[in-house]
Amino acid sequence: MRFSIIIPTYNASEFLEFTLNDLVKYTKGDFEILLGFKNATPEVKRVADEFSNQYQFIKKAETSSDEVYQKINELVKLSSNEKVVFLNDDMAFSPDWNVDLVSRIRKDTFVVAQVFDSNYLNDGIEAGNHPREFNRDYFYSKIKEYQRRKIKTRFFPMPLGFMKADFLEVGGYPSSNYFPYPNDLEFLNKLGMLNKKFDFAENSFVYHFIRGSQRENNLGLTY
């Protein structure tokens, strides 16, 4: 199972460190992690340096743009594998979280995971909004509950797994100053117009600290 993980990042150093530690511990297979950190804070660069020095599969990518969607597009082009997974820099993961997701990636099919999001009550979980607050036992208990009751979380286009060729075919994400919703919706519309399909990885579980980065910037425009 070979694939690339791409992560755009900017100013959430503590979240990025937590995310990378989780990925190292809970990701299975032969993979690389590409960090796009154009104009990132010194703290984020320190974290990127520490992890890339310690793990050969974690690589720093100095993208030409600091706009988040353009970073994603550039990171996909730089990835060295046919299968790619896009992640945020403020996430927690279940053991072997990627196995079901990556195995479902195929031509013309984009794959999403089960995402517990701390900002959405309909997902029924609040396991903390910061790594220091994260309740992993509660996260795991909710995973077992969802599996037992065969519940699906709402659709959320991240993590997003896809074939690199398909992403390039649709032209990647549109680039603008708006994050995240207009670009996400326009991208999804493009996929539909080109007859791309979505699959749901029912056994891939991820937790998203959705307001995490915003704690480091009161404008709420970080990622």
* CA separation, residue 111 to residues 35, 107, 121, 161, 163 (Å): 21, 11, 23, 5, 10
Task: Quickly count: other Cβ atoms within 10 Å of residue 110's Cβ.
Answer: 23
The whole-number pLDDT of residue 46 equals 95
Question: Going by C-beta distance under 8 Å and a sequence separation of 6 or more, which residues neighbour residue 176?
Answer: 67, 69, 182, 183
The model's pTM is: 0.89
- Tens digit of each residue's pLDDT (9 = 90 or more) over 180-200: 455 677 788 888 878 889 999
All structural domains of the chain? 2-113+155-216 (3.90.550.10)
